[in-house]
């Protein structure tokens, strides 16, 4: 062990490793300090929240703010709704988005510019313009108050996003792979599923995560299309918490922390894929 | 042959069973009351509401009311979109100053014909009832509860500063706010909400009317003096500048935490006060201090039947049931509100016995309504913007009031406030 | 013949997604376009006689001083956010593309800021930029940069800065992520051969990294611009556009017009202005990438 450490310190590469790792940790500490703040605030008693002097760790530790939220009946239900809305919209986004990115990236489709422009245009509509007309559509389709309504609204915005992100990935796949696939006797779809998708695993994971989170984070659509408590996601209840707790930051922060925890879990769960994918390089030649 | 017989029997038996099941089902459908949706934004009062609904559902079989909680902000949005799409609940709750707008947007149905013959109508107070009417005096709903604003005082802080009594006039109020401010412990003399929405307007109206001015005379000396009073509090550090981002819950939290000597407080806050203060200090309610006259402002919610309701009369019947003297009294006792009918107030003595409620019951005599006016949201925005601009020193109180009047006066010239005071 | 078959294959993949988005989003666009040329408000919704007024709503908007302020806010917010989040995001992407042990995990950790629901981030921002009990003021006071608390969200001159800062915090990891994927696609060989030719670090960055990263840079700036320009959730929860419209942007203002003032046509017109600004930028982007394609 000691030998190893000595070796690390003596080799140039090892020193670089340590210096850079230290710098990276410093960056992380500074950048993620607000998240520490969020968690820390959620364990402070009221008296400390209103104290004149700001404390950087809870001098008196309490889980009361957490209990206040977790003992709330609606909470688990909202959590489930958040996951359902996010998952549904992610699936819709991927089903429509990935093939479109492939078609746009690999083929000389005429009218490509028009299609690209249209995709971009759809990204440009602000939520306030969407709410009323979409409400009218979903009302006619009888989708109001289902997971599908917000999911469709969110995914329609995510599909173009996926195309824009993934197109360069698909373009970067060398032609030799196409030929190899054809020689192996793959048809159109087989080569898409067996060759192309695995070739850009990184990009796929990135868009899966991003499209899931755009559903997880959505506020305006879910709030407008799903009125009933049993269909609402967590984000949509934030209003209620703001009016209920006002400046009781510990209770609000505990609620926020509960909302962030699944995000952190998703990250821990997928991080090795994301990071592995990002550092591996998309193309193996 | 036997096979055939068996088959015949089995088919017969099967069809009989099916017929029976069908009959049972159709009977059920036949006797099933019509489902009626009710949207509300009651939080700690939700249980009381559900009880009233359950009672009503049990006593008749024509309709079954199903309550759904929707937060206030969103309920407004749903009505707005509903006005365009026609997709609305059958019965809806609405904040009283916003009712006129939704009546104008054709969200709430005219129920005059179902209530004008109703004997109980005479007992409803004018202020709350007016807020359900349109310009022609047609009724679109019934008020459910009332509240108003009063001054809440932390007696411990006052006594420590050498005052035994809460203030009664603006001068005393200002003097006490100055004396009780303690920057070293970050205690402010006064706390209120001046946030950029209806709550901010609600909290400013009492000061405006106390000066002797009104919404239609914002450029008068009196109106300007009311804004000057509050601006000076902030300027001198007796009130936090942050009140422009504080809702009423925030201002209340500051008071409960002992960070404000005085608070402009609403009736509904009594419900949780003792629990929150937890004997940390003695408090006392009193009327908001008097400029030229005592003043307060009426708040509260109404229930209306929407134009989407399949049976307006049946839904109206439920609202009437909800607002009988007895139900209204029970309801307001649980929810920490004031009744909307004089005979309900007489049913329980705590509105006069409990000295906190007694102050609010008294304040109701001086309380003014906001509107009713279909363009109230625009009037309200002009008012809270003026208050904010003056408090953060963006404009002088005089300039702020002039700018607000420039927006409000043309609107009032076109459509005056119904039942103008 | 072969080319034709190829094209057909491309359409098989591209069209479903295209049709899906056009169907879902086309209607709202047309709906609002028509609405913005009408005069629909609280006074005539009931009677249903909203008349066509042509460009009157747009004229009214552009002569309105509040709207001019909103327009200014939107551009300041967008440009301010983009400059900082792109620069810092790029620096971080370069830093983390170095090969050292903790590069992967920490790069991943930073993503949490981007993954958090904006609603939560906005609440956190509201707290951190508090005047008397906020973290930022406390730190600045302790370090001696300021002698008395900054009135962050209480003053019209500083509220937008606070909102931009929070928005950058969300945007930096996103920029880093997209740019990193661009960086990893540059083969190490290219750098090695450049190093052999005696190019220094700056030359390598300028002549190799930047040109090869162009598609990724363009994409991230374009998307960043679109999402920042139509921001809504952040202000809606952090400041509600206040104090006095100082943090209102086109996205929130359009919402307020429609949903709190019931001026439906004005709200639609504001939304359309936002949309047209983005359309111009989008066309510009397409021209740029068209050069790279053909």
pLDDT tens readout for residues A51-72: 778 889 999 899 988 988 887 7
Return d(Cα B269, Cα B282) in angstroms, integer.
16
Average pLDDT over residues A11-18: 80
pLDDT at C175 over 80: yes
With beta carbons less than 8 A apart as the criterion, state whether B257 and B157 touch: no
The whole-number pLDDT of residue A53 equals: 83
With beta carbons less than 8 A apart as the criterion, state whether C249 and C67 touch: no
What are the residue boundaries of the structural domains of chain A, listed by start? 1-43, 70-281
Rounded to 10 deg, the angle between the C118-128 and C159-184 helix axes is 130
User: Cα–Cα–Cα angle for B387, B376, B320, nearest 5°?
Assistant: 125
**Cα–chain-centroid distance for residue A281?**
22
The whole-number pLDDT of residue B140 equals: 96
What are the residue boundaries of the structural domains of chain C, listed by start? 59-126+158-291
By percentage, how much of chain A surpasses pLDDT 70? 90
Residue C73 neighbours by CB under 8 Å, 6+ apart: C160, C245, C246, C247, C248, C249
Indicate which of C244, C248, C253, C261 best probes the interface with B, i.e. most B CBs within 10 Å of its own CB.
Answer: C244
A55 or B234, which is more confident? B234
Question: Which residues of B make CB contacts under 8 Å with A?
Answer: 39, 43, 68-74, 77-78, 81, 84-85, 87, 185-186, 246-254, 257-259
Number of helices and strands (H, E) in chain C?
13, 0
Query: DSSP letter string over C176-220?
Result: HHHHHHHHHTS-HHHHHHHHHTT--HHHHIIIIIHHHHHHHHHHH
Is A125 an 8 Å CB contact of chain C? yes
The whole-number pLDDT of residue C1 equals: 41
C293 or B150, which is more confident? B150
pLDDT band of residue B85 (cuts 50, 70, 90) is confident
Return d(Cα C28, Cα C21) in angstroms, integer.
11
The whole-number pLDDT of residue B43 equals: 81
pLDDT band of residue B7 (cuts 50, 70, 90) is low
- Is C13 within 8 Å of A274 when comparing Cβ atoms? no
How crowded is the C-beta side of A34, counted as CA atoms within 13 Å? 24
The whole-number pLDDT of residue A1 equals: 56
DSSP code at position C1:
-
pLDDT tens readout for residues A91-114: 999 999 999 999 988 887 777 778
B104: tokens are 């104008």
Is A91 an 8 Å CB contact of chain C? no
pLDDT at C2 over 60: no
Give domain A70-281's CATH architecture.
Answer: Orthogonal Bundle (1.10)
By percentage, how much of chain C surpasses pLDDT 70? 96
Average pLDDT over residues C155-176: 95
How crowded is the C-beta side of A50, counted as CA atoms within 13 Å? 20
- Is C262 within 8 Å of B377 when comparing Cβ atoms? yes
pLDDT band of residue A245 (cuts 50, 70, 90) is confident
Average pLDDT over residues B162-187: 96
The whole-number pLDDT of residue C135 equals: 93
The whole-number pLDDT of residue B420 equals: 47
pLDDT band of residue C294 (cuts 50, 70, 90) is very low
Indicate which of C26, C119, C129 best probes the interface with A, i.e. most A CBs within 10 Å of its own CB.
Answer: C119
Is C215 an 8 Å CB contact of chain A? yes
DSSP code at position B289:
P
pLDDT band of residue A2 (cuts 50, 70, 90) is low
How crowded is the C-beta side of B90, counted as CA atoms within 13 Å? 21
Average pLDDT, chain B: 90
pLDDT tens readout for residues C51-93: 889 899 999 999 999 999 999 999 999 999 999 999 999 999 9
Return d(Cα A91, Cα A151) in angstroms, integer.
9
A214 to chain C, minimum CA–CA distance in Å? Answer: 9
- Is A126 within 8 Å of C232 when comparing Cβ atoms? yes
pLDDT at A134 over 80: yes
- Is C242 within 8 Å of B241 when comparing Cβ atoms? no
Average pLDDT over residues B332-359: 90
Return d(Cα B287, Cα B266) in angstroms, integer.
11
pLDDT at C191 over 50: yes
pLDDT band of residue C38 (cuts 50, 70, 90) is very high
The whole-number pLDDT of residue C287 equals: 82
Interface list for C 115-174 with A (CB within 8 A): 115-120, 123-124, 127-128, 133, 135, 138, 169, 172
The whole-number pLDDT of residue A109 equals: 77
**SS3 assignment, position B390:** helix
Of A51-55, A219-223, A266-270, B122-126, the range with the highest mean pLDDT is B122-126
Average pLDDT, chain C: 88
pLDDT band of residue B341 (cuts 50, 70, 90) is very high
pLDDT band of residue B267 (cuts 50, 70, 90) is very high
C128 or B71, which is more confident? C128
Give domain C59-126+158-291's CATH architecture.
Answer: Orthogonal Bundle (1.10)
Residue B167 neighbours by CB under 8 Å, 6+ apart: B151, B173, B175, B176, B262, B286, B289
How crowded is the C-beta side of B256, counted as CA atoms within 13 Å? 23
The whole-number pLDDT of residue B8 equals: 53
Give the nearest partner residue to A246 out of B84, B247, B258, using CB atoms. B247
């Amino acid at each position: 062990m000691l030998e190893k450490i000595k070796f690390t310190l003596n080799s140039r590469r090892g020193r670089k490793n340590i210096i850079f790792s230290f710098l990276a940790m410093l960056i992380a500490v500074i950048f993620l300090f607000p998240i520490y703040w969020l968690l820390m605030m959620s364990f402070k008693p009221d008296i400390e929240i209103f104290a004149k002097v700001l404390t950087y760790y809870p001098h008196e530790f309490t889980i009361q703010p957490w209990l206040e939220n977790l003992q709330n009946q609606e909470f688990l239900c909202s959590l489930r709704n958040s996951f359902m809305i996010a998952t549904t919209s992610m699936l819709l986004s991927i089903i429509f988005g990935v093939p479109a990115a492939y078609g746009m990236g690999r083929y000389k489709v005429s009218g490509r510019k028009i299609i690209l422009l249209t995709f971009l245009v759809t990204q440009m509509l602000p939520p306030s313009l969407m709410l009323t007309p979409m409400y009218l559509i979903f009302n006619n389709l009888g989708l109001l108050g289902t997971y599908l309504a917000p999911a469709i609204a969110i995914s329609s915005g995510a599909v173009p996003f996926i195309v824009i992100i993934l197109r360069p990935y698909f373009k970067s796949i060398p032609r030799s792979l196409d030929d190899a696939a054809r020689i192996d006797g793959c048809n159109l779809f087989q080569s898409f599923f067996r060759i192309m998708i695995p070739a850009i695993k990184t990009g796929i994971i990135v868009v899966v995560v991003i499209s899931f989170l755009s559903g997880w984070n959505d506020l305006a659509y879910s709030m407008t299309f799903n009125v009933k408590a049993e269909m609402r996601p967590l984000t949509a209840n934030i209003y209620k918490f703001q009016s209920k707790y006002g400046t009781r930051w510990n209770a609000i922060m505990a609620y926020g922390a509960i909302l962030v925890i699944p995000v952190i879990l998703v990250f821990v769960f997928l991080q090795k894929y994301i990071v592995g994918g990002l550092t591996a390089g998309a193309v193996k030649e | 042959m036997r096979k055939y017989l068996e088959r015949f029997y089995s088919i017969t038996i099967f069809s009989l069973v099916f017929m029976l099941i069908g009959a049972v089902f159709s009977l059920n459908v036949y006797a099933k009351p019509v489902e009626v949706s009710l949207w509300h934004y009651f939080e700690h009062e939700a249980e009381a509401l559900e009880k009233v609904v359950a009672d009503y559902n049990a006593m008749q079989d024509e309709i079954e009311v199903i309550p759904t909680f929707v937060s206030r902000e969103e309920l407004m949005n749903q009505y707005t979109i509903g006005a365009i799409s026609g997709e609305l609940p059958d019965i809806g709750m609405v904040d009283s100053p916003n009712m006129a707008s939704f009546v104008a947007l054709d969200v709430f149905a005219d129920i005059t014909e179902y209530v004008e013959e109703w004997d109980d109508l005479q007992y409803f107070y004018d202020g709350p009832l007016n807020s359900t009417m349109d310009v022609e005096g047609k009724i679109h709903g019934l008020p459910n509860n009332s509240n108003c604003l009063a001054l809440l005082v932390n007696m411990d802080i006052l006594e420590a500063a050498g005052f035994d009594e809460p203030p009664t006039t603006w001068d005393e109020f200002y003097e006490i706010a100055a004396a009780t401010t303690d920057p070293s412990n970050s205690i402010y003399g006064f706390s209120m909400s001046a946030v950029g929405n209806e709550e901010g307007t609600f909290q400013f109206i009492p000061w405006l009317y106390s000066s002797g001015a009104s919404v239609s005379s914002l450029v008068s000396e009196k109106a300007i003096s009311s804004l000057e009073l509050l601006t000076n509090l902030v300027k001198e550090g007796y009130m936090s500048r942050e009140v422009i981002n504080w809702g009423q819950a925030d201002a209340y939290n500051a008071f409960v935490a002992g960070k404000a000597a005085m608070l402009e407080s609403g009736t509904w806050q009594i419900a949780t006060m003792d629990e929150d203060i937890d004997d940390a200090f003695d408090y006392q309610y009193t009327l908001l201090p008097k400029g030229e006259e005592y003043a307060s402002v009426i708040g509260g919610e109404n229930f209306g039947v929407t134009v989407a309701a399949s049976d307006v009369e049946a839904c109206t019947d439920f609202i009437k049931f909800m607002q009988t003297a007895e139900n209204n009294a029970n309801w307001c006792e649980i929810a920490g509100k004031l009744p909307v009918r004089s005979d309900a107030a007489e049913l329980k003595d705590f509105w006069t016995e409990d000295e906190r409620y007694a102050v609010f019951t008294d304040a109701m005599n001086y309380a003014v309504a906001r509107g009713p006016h279909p363009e109230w949201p625009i009037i309200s925005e002009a008012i809270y913007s003026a208050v904010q601009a003056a408090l953060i020193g963006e404009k002088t109180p005089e300039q702020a009031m002039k700018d607000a009047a420039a927006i409000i006066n043309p609107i009032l010239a076109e459509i005056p406030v119904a039942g103008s005071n | 013949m072969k080319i034709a078959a190829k094209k057909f294959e491309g359409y098989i993949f591209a069209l479903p997604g295209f049709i899906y988005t056009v169907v879902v989003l086309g209607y709202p666009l047309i709906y609002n376009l028509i609405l913005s040329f009408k005069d629909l408000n609280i006074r005539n919704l009931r009677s249903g006689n909203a008349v066509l007024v042509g460009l009157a709503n747009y004229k009214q908007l552009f002569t309105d001083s509040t709207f001019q302020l909103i327009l200014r806010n939107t551009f300041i917010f967008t440009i301010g956010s983009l400059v900082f989040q792109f620069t810092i995001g790029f620096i971080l992407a370069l830093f983390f593309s170095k090969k050292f042990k903790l590069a992967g995990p920490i790069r991943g950790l930073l993503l949490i800021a981007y993954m958090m629901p904006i609603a939560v981030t906005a609440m956190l921002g509201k707290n951190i930029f508090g005047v008397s009990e906020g973290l930022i003021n406390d730190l600045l006071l302790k370090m001696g940069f300021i002698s008395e608390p900054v009135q962050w969200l209480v003053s019209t001159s500083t509220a937008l800065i606070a909102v931009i800062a929070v928005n950058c915090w969300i945007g930096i990891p996103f920029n880093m992520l997209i740019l990193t994927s661009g960086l990893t696609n540059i083969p190490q060989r290219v750098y090695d051969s450049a190093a052999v030719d005696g190019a220094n670090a700056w030359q390598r960055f300028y002549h190799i990294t930047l040109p090869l990263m162009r598609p990724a840079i363009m994409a991230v700036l374009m998307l960043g611009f679109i999402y920042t320009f139509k921001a809504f959730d952040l202000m809606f929860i952090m400041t509600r556009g206040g104090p006095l419209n100082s943090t209102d942007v086109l996205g929130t203002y359009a919402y307020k017009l429609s949903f709190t003032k019931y001026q439906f046509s004005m709200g639609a017109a504001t939304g359309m202005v936002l949309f047209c600004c983005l359309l111009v930028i989008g066309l510009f982007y397409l021209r740029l990438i068209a050069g790279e394609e053909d």
